[in-house]
Amino acid sequence: MVGVTICQNLCYHCETVSLAVQPQEVKRVVSQAITSARGPALHSYGAHHSCATPGLGRTKGPGPATRSYGGSRGVRIQGVEVPGEVKAGEDVSLKCWVDPWPGPLYSLSWWKDGSQFYRAAVTASPISRDKPPSSGSLATVFPVPGISVKAGGRGLGHVVLEEVGVAASGVYTCEAVADFPSFSQQLVSANLTVVGKTREDLS
């Protein structure tokens, strides 16, 4: 039995749910809850607690301001790269750099408007920002309307969206989850806007 606490609105309104599930399922449930939350979130796994206050994150290169949740202890997203505005028909590169200190990384995921479309589960040695694994991770792509993930991204958190249309506009979130025992988590979100129309949009 695992207790999961999720708090919103500056951590004043909390709800605790007891789940007879494995830690992997707990992470999935909390991940979905935090991703859909409109305000700050407090999440706990066992004895680990972190209260997140939203604020400006940072992007590498031109891009929108980001909103960050979690990361006060354990895993920390060091930076994300999401272009603020692109033209329809272009490929879009999304990048996320993670520092899993003090332990290994469990998984790294990308979400669009609350729907997960990419997840890399780390199966080998701990990663670092400068040396992401290749054969040490298992990547899975999930179908999400409006986007198509192109093969060939470099590094664990690098995802390429192929020939985006206006339906690809939305909020993109990078989620990093540390491995046992902390299962600490951080999410960083940024907006992407696609301007113009592709042939598919016009059909």
d(CA 42, CA 185): 10
pLDDT of residue 105: 85
pLDDT in tens, 12-58: 233 333 334 344 443 444 344 333 433 333 332 222 223 232 333 33
- For residue 188 the two structure tokens come to 């960083």
Confidence at 202, pLDDT banded by 50, 70, 90: low
- Kindly report, residue by residue over 91-134, the tens digit of the pLDDT: 999 999 988 666 788 899 999 999 999 998 875 544 444 444 44
Spatial contact of 139 and 153, defined as CB atoms under 8 Å apart: no
Residue carrying structure tokens 């985006």: 164
* Amino acid letter, 65: A
Mean pLDDT (the chain) is 67
Report residue 5's pLDDT band, with 50, 70 and 90 as the boundaries.
Answer: very low
Three-state DSSP at 36 gives helix
- pLDDT, residue 99, reads 82
Phi, psi of 186 (to 5 degrees): -140, 145
* pLDDT digits 0-9 by tens, 54-77: 333 333 333 344 454 444 466 889
Q: What is the pLDDT of residue 199?
A: 63
Contacts of 147 (CB under 8 A, 6+ apart): 112, 117, 161, 164, 167, 168
Residues 100 and 45: their CA atoms lie apart, in Å, by 16
With beta carbons less than 8 A apart as the criterion, state whether 66 and 89 touch. no
Domains of the chain, start order:
54-202 (2.60.40.10)
Task: Name the nearest CA neighbour of 45 among 22, 69, 77.
Answer: 22
Rounded to whole angstroms, how far apart are CA atoms 104 and 25? 19
Q: What is the pLDDT of residue 156?
A: 81
141 pLDDT higher than 50: yes
Q: pTM of the predicted model, to two decimals?
A: 0.60
What string of DSSP letters covers 51-92?
E----B--BSSS----EEEE-SSS-EEEEEE--SEEETT--E
What is the model's pLDDT at position 83? Answer: 95
3-state helix, strand, coil in the chain (%, to 5): 10, 45, 45
